[in-house]
Amino acid sequence: MKQRQHAGVGGAIFHATVGRKWCAGPTVEHVLRAIQKDHDEGKGALVNYLGEHCKTKEEVMHNMEAYETLIERLATFLSSSELLDPTFVPAISMKPTQFGLDVAGLSTPENYTAGNMSHIVALASRKGIPVWMDMEGSDTTDFTIGLYKRLLEVQGRLVRLVLQANLKRTPDDLRDLMQRDQATVRLVKGIYPESPGIAFMKNEEIHRAFAELIEIAFTQSSSSFGVAIGSHHSERIAEAVAFQQGDFQKDYFVVQMLRGVMKKLADQLVTQGVPIEIYEPYGPNEFPYSVRRMRESPSFILGLVRATLFEGRYTKLYEHHQPTESSQ
Q: Is the pLDDT of residue 318 over 90?
A: no
Q: Is the pLDDT of residue 113 over 60?
A: yes
| Separation of alpha carbons 283 and 40, rounded Å | 23
In a domain, 29, yes or no: yes
In a domain, 16, yes or no: yes
| Separation of alpha carbons 87 and 66, rounded Å | 25
Cα 70 to Cα 98, 104, 108, 256, distances in angstroms:
15, 27, 28, 20
- DSSP state, residue 26: S
Cα 261 to Cα 13, 20, 201, 265, distances in angstroms:
20, 12, 24, 9
In a domain, 328, yes or no: no
**pLDDT score for 101:** 97
Q: Is the pLDDT of residue 168 over 50?
A: yes
**pLDDT score for 82:** 74
Greater pLDDT, 228 or 313: 228
**pLDDT score for 325:** 47
Nearest to 60, CA basis, from 6, 107, 3, 105? 3
Q: Is the pLDDT of residue 91 over 50?
A: yes
Q: Is the pLDDT of residue 312 over 90?
A: no
For residue 40, the surrounding DSSP H or E stretch is helix 28-40
| Contact indicator for 67, 94 with CB cutoff of 8 Å | yes
Its pTM stands at: 0.87
Q: Is the pLDDT of residue 246 over 50?
A: yes
- DSSP state, residue 128: T
**Mean per-residue pLDDT for 56-74?**
98
Q: Please tell me the least confidently modeled range out of 170-174, 200-204, 305-309.
A: 305-309
Nearest to 161, CA basis, from 207, 223, 117? 117
**pLDDT score for 6:** 47
Total number of domains in the chain: 1
- DSSP state, residue 224: T
| Separation of alpha carbons 230 and 128, rounded Å | 22
Query: Model confidence over 200-229: pLDDT tens digits?
Result: 999 999 999 999 999 999 999 999 999 999
In a domain, 314, yes or no: yes
**Mean per-residue pLDDT for 142-162?**
98
**pLDDT score for 22:** 78
| Contact indicator for 190, 138 with CB cutoff of 8 Å | no
| Contact indicator for 253, 244 with CB cutoff of 8 Å | yes
| Separation of alpha carbons 282 and 289, rounded Å | 10
Read off the CATH number of the domain in which 163 is found: 3.20.20.220
Q: Is the pLDDT of residue 313 over 70?
A: no
State the burial class of residue 104 (Cβ atoms within 10 Å of its Cβ: 0-12, 13-18, 19+): exposed
**Mean per-residue pLDDT for 82-106?**
91
Q: Please tell me the least confidently modeled range out of 50-59, 88-97, 226-235, 299-308.
A: 299-308
**pLDDT above 70 coverage of the chain, percent:** 81
Which residues, 6+ apart, have CB-to-CB distance to 187 below 8 Å? Answer: 163, 165, 174, 210, 213, 214, 217, 227, 228, 229, 230, 231
Nearest to 54, CA basis, from 314, 270, 293, 285? 285
**Mean per-residue pLDDT for 30-36?**
95
In a domain, 318, yes or no: yes
Beta bridge partners of 185: 161, 227
State the burial class of residue 201 (Cβ atoms within 10 Å of its Cβ: 0-12, 13-18, 19+): exposed
Instruction: Read off the pLDDT band of 2 (50, 70, 90).
Output: very low
**Mean per-residue pLDDT for 297-317?**
54
**Mean per-residue pLDDT for 37-41?**
94
In a domain, 316, yes or no: yes
Domain that holds residue 64: 2-323
Query: Model confidence over 248-301: pLDDT tens digits?
Result: 999 999 999 999 888 899 999 999 999 999 999 999 887 766 665 556 555 555
